[in-house]
Amino acid sequence: MCGLCGLIEEQSDWTASLSELPRRQERYRRLKLINALAKPHRIQISDVHGVNYLVQTPTGKQAMANGLGELWGQIHTLTGRPIDVLDERFLHALETQS
């Protein structure tokens, strides 16, 4: 697939069908949650044209991800460690953020 098609074509995600919100509004709600999960790893995730995610580290490393599955992989690639959402320390850090 060419780079332009990869940018334009949105990868369908199973979580998209669970919401009654309009598609764009649901994407921003999901993005807020993703950033809360990524905050302890010092990663910032932003939306790119409602299709892709831009993953950024504090040192300036960047990667594009299409869909949640690719997003977690890009975070792992950029930081060298995966996000384990079941890790007790990670869950505690999320609780203290709220």
Dist. CA 74–CA 80, nearest whole Å: 10
Of 16-25, 34-43, 45-54, the least confident: 16-25
Say how many C-beta atoms besides its own lie within 10 A of residue 45's C-beta: 20
Tell the residue number behind the tokens 């932003």, with chain if given.
46
To the question of pTM greater than 0.75 for the whole model, the response is no
Dist. CA 7–CA 48, nearest whole Å: 9
Dist. CA 65–CA 93, nearest whole Å: 25
DSSP run (H or E) holding 3: helix 3-8
pLDDT of residue 15: 58
Say how many C-beta atoms besides its own lie within 10 A of residue 23's C-beta: 10
pLDDT tens track for 3-38: 555 555 555 555 556 667 677 888 888 899 889 888
